[in-house]
Amino acid sequence: MRKYTVLLPETPDEDPLRGLYAGFSYMWPEESAPEPRWSLDTDELVKRSGRSRRWLFAHCDELPFVRRMSRKVLRGDAQLLERWITRR
């Protein structure tokens, strides 16, 4: 389990929620920031999975790393895709 440090404002004038709206990138060093989930587009899924575009659309309901966003758009999770590739 990871532990995170929350940065509190130094003066009472600062908005305590300012950091929440700016994002949470301050919790990780720049080089180790995690990739956002569902960030892979359809073309990237085709490249990384080694499957055709048509195959991915036909089997997207069976694949744990793919979500159908619309009739023509798929999104994928890089971590789940890598796990799927190693288990094949």
Predicted pLDDT of residue 85 = 92
Q: Given this model, what pLDDT does residue 33 score?
A: 56
Domain boundaries, the chain: 42-87
Q: Is 18 a residue whose pLDDT tops 70?
A: no
Q: What is the pLDDT of residues 35-80, one digit of tens each?
A: 668 889 999 999 999 999 999 999 999 999 999 999 999 999 999 9
Q: Is the pLDDT of residue 17 over 60?
A: no
Q: What is the DSSP string of the chain?
A: -----PPPPSSTTS-TTHHHHH-SGGGS-GGGPPPPTT-B-HHHHHHHH---HHHHHHHTTT-TTEEE-SSS-EEE-HHHHHHHHHH-
